[in-house]
Amino acid sequence: MKIGIIAGYKIPNLIKKPESILIETPSGNVNIEVNSHKDHTLFFLNRHGMDADIPPHNINYLANIQALAASHVECIFSVGTVGSLKPTIQPGDFIIPHDFIDFTKSRVYTFFEKKRVHVDMTEPYCPTIRKELIAAGKDIEKVNLHKNGIYLATEGPRLETAAEITLFSKYADIVGMTAVPEIVLAREKGICYASLCVVCNMATGLQNRLTTDEITTIYKKKEPLISELLRKSLATLHSKSTCHCKDIVIKATL
Phi first, then psi: what are they for 151, rounded to 5°?
Answer: -95, 125
Q: How far from 188 is each of 19, 32, 62, 199, 240, CA to CA, in Å? A: 28, 21, 11, 28, 20
Q: Residue 254's pLDDT is what?
A: 44
CA distance 78 to 33: 15
Average pLDDT for consecutive 10-residue bins of the chain (254 residues)? 95 90 97 92 96 95 98 97 96 97 96 91 95 95 96 95 96 98 96 97 81 82 96 86 77 54
State which fold the 2-251 domain adopts. Rossmann fold (3.40.50)
Task: Kindly report the number of other CB atoms within 10 A of residue 40's CB atom.
Answer: 17
Asked if residues 9 and 219 have their Cβ atoms less than 8 Å apart, the reply is yes
CA distance 219 to 93: 11
User: What angle separates helix 127-138 from helix 212-236, to the nearest 10 degrees?
Assistant: 100
